[in-house]
Amino acid sequence: MSLNQQQNLFQTIQRLLRMGATSNAKNLITKLHPTDIASIIPLFPAEDQDCILSYLYDIKKIADIFSRLGSSFLKNYLKNHQDYARMAKILEMVASDDRADLLKELDDVDAQALLSLMTQDNSSEVSALLQYQETTAGALMSTEIFKLTEEMTVQNAIKTLREAHKAETIYYIYVVDELNNLKGVISLPQLFRAKDDSLLKELMFNDVVRVTVDESQQEVARLVSEYDFVALPVVDTNNKLMGVITVDDVIDVIQETAQEHAMKMGQASISDVEGDGGLRGIRKKLASYMIIFLGGLIICEVITDFYQWLPPEGIFAGFIPIILRFTGLIARQMSTISIYEMSQGLFLPKRVFRILIGQLCSTAIIGFFSSLTVVVYAFFRFHDNFKLSLAIVISLFFAMFISVLAGFFIPYFLRKIRIDLTHATGPVVNFFLDILTLLLYFGTLIRIVK
């Protein structure tokens, strides 16, 4: 649904509710897809949200809506209604991985209250998933997986398949032995083309691409993309089948990661938008701001110490923003390249050397034309101060080369010491680069001008 369609739908339902046209509103809402309802319901005030949900009798549809709305909506709903029994029934209709995602963001009291009202099986499934670290395959997988034993015939497999109703959307049939060890995989077309009396172990593909429960979600996304899978099995360290990750879960991870990285690169976070960052969000930002502030104090000291040795006219100061902005832009570009290379597992010596040579060559060309512009400007602006122009050109040229190296390698060293790249790269690169650039600029001025 486009944004215009979403806005028109919202206005239509809002108008029907205000007019008291209950029957028309109900008919319209019940025909909508859960995704469309989830996209507009946060736009309504709480009383209208309750009214919209009350029109829906299909609990599976309601569960789908809550699954798409996320934990923030669930928190507000529980806060306003305190109806834990009904919400527990709704959450039991949600896929186990989505159910775990919703509960892990709730307060411990609310999460435990809901778990205690679920059936033992559903509660145990979610509790097991909540034990995995948030960025691992285990936290992403669904335990509702369709699996069959290797000794089963095709006829019995098809019969079992027809009776299956709780498993996550079935894309492949995973074949296990009596100990639940993953032995192979069979596609649905392959199953339906086989003879009824054939055994699954005769049809299955043995070399199954799989991930362990502690594998990173980034690696899961890479495998799904590389092999064009729609689902990927998850096993433990003993090769026992634990669950399955479907392509829709991977797409969610990619979108969330992209949003999170985009926010972090601007020193912000999703919690700033949602309004629930609290003290934890402040602590994350404080380190970045303190690095910038400390760098500013050091720069202040550098300027103060060098000032007495520099040209008394003070015209040198006008070029400081130009040099800092040039180097800052180059460093940001190189940091982006570096982070991308590491995220793709491509940070290899030969490739790094090739990238650096290419970037240094392009920087040299940009530096040449920039320096030429500075010389022309300085000639017309400061006719009798050729030495100042020369100092600026040399400083700018070498500062640009330093920014290439700093922007490319600082993220690599940050990663080595396990610091979040997207959050720390900008402040750390600026901290070192600003100081080095000014030291280079002032040092060159003193040597040439004086």
The answer to the question of residue 265 being in a domain is no
Based on the fold, state whether residues 97 and 41 are members of the same structural domain. Answer: yes
Both 16 and 156 in one domain: the answer is no
The pair of structure tokens assigned to 213 is 């429960």
Q: Does some domain include residue 54?
A: yes
| Among 32, 35, 101, residue whose Cα is nearest residue 68 | 35
- d(CA 401, CA 75) in angstroms, rounded, equals 51
- pLDDT of 281 reads 56
Q: What residues contact residue 364 under an 8 Å CB cut-off, 6+ apart?
A: 401
Integer-rounded Cα radius of gyration of the chain: 30
Instruction: Answer with the one of 82, 102, 135 that is the final residue of a domain.
Output: 135
Residue 81: both structure tokens together: 């209604």
Low-confidence ranges of the chain (pLDDT < 50): 272-273, 275
- Give the span between the Cα atoms of 396 and 440, in whole angstroms: 9
Question: Quick one: 280 and 369 in the same domain?
Answer: yes
Looking at the structure, do residues 125 and 181 belong to the same domain, yes or no? Answer: no
Give the residue carrying structure tokens 């994350």: 284
Task: Let me know whether 438 and 322 are in one domain.
Answer: yes
Residue 276, helix vs strand vs coil: coil
Side chain identity, residue 373: T
Phi, psi of 416 (to 5 degrees): -60, -35
Sign of CA dihedral 5, 7, 13, 19: negative
Query: Residue 273: its pLDDT value, please?
Result: 46
Asked whether residue 264 is assigned to any structural domain, the reply reads no
Domain limits for position 37: 3-135
For residue 37 the two structure tokens come to 């309802």
CATH of the domain at 332: 1.10.357.20
| CATH classification at residue 235 | 3.10.580.10
pLDDT of residue 153: 93
Task: Give the C-alpha separation, 126 to 98, whole Å.
Answer: 9
Assigned domain for 258 exists: no
Closest CA to 413 of 404, 424, 403, 402: 424
pLDDT value, residue 254: 76
Burial class (CB in 10 A: 0-12, 13-18, 19+), 235: buried
Show the tokens assigned to 114: 């809901």
Q: Does 397 lie in the same domain as 309?
A: yes
260 part of a folded domain: no
Does residue 308 sit in helix, strand or coil? Answer: coil
Token pair of 46 as six digits: 């709480």
Domain presence at residue 262 = no
Q: How far is CA 286 from CA 130, 169, 290, 292, 414, in A?
A: 30, 44, 6, 10, 18
pTM higher than 0.85: no
d(C-alpha 38, C-alpha 43), whole Å? 10
Give the separation between CA 422 and CA 120, rounded to whole angstroms: 41
Beta bridge partners of 153: 199
How many structural domains are present in the chain?
3
Last residue of a domain, which of 247, 281, 296?
247
Q: What pLDDT is recorded for position 182?
A: 94
pLDDT digits (tens, 9 = 90+) for 256-310: 766 666 555 555 555 544 545 555 556 656 666 677 667 767 777 777 676 666 6
Per-residue pLDDT tens over the stretch 123-177: 888 888 888 888 899 988 988 888 999 999 999 999 988 887 655 567 889 999 9
**414 CA to centre of own chain:** 19
One domain for residues 107 and 174: no
Task: Please report whether residue 256 resides in a domain.
Answer: no
| End-of-domain residue from the set 135, 157, 175 | 135
Specify whether 300 is located in the same domain as 241.
no
Query: Do 70 and 216 fall within a single domain?
Result: no
Q: For residue 24, what is the domain's CATH number?
A: 1.25.60.10
Q: What's the CA gap between 437 and 400, in Å, rounded?
A: 9
257 located within any domain: no
> Do residues 203 and 275 both lie within one domain?
no
Q: Is the same domain home to 126 and 186?
A: no
Same domain, residue pair 418 and 356:
yes
SS3 state of residue 245: strand
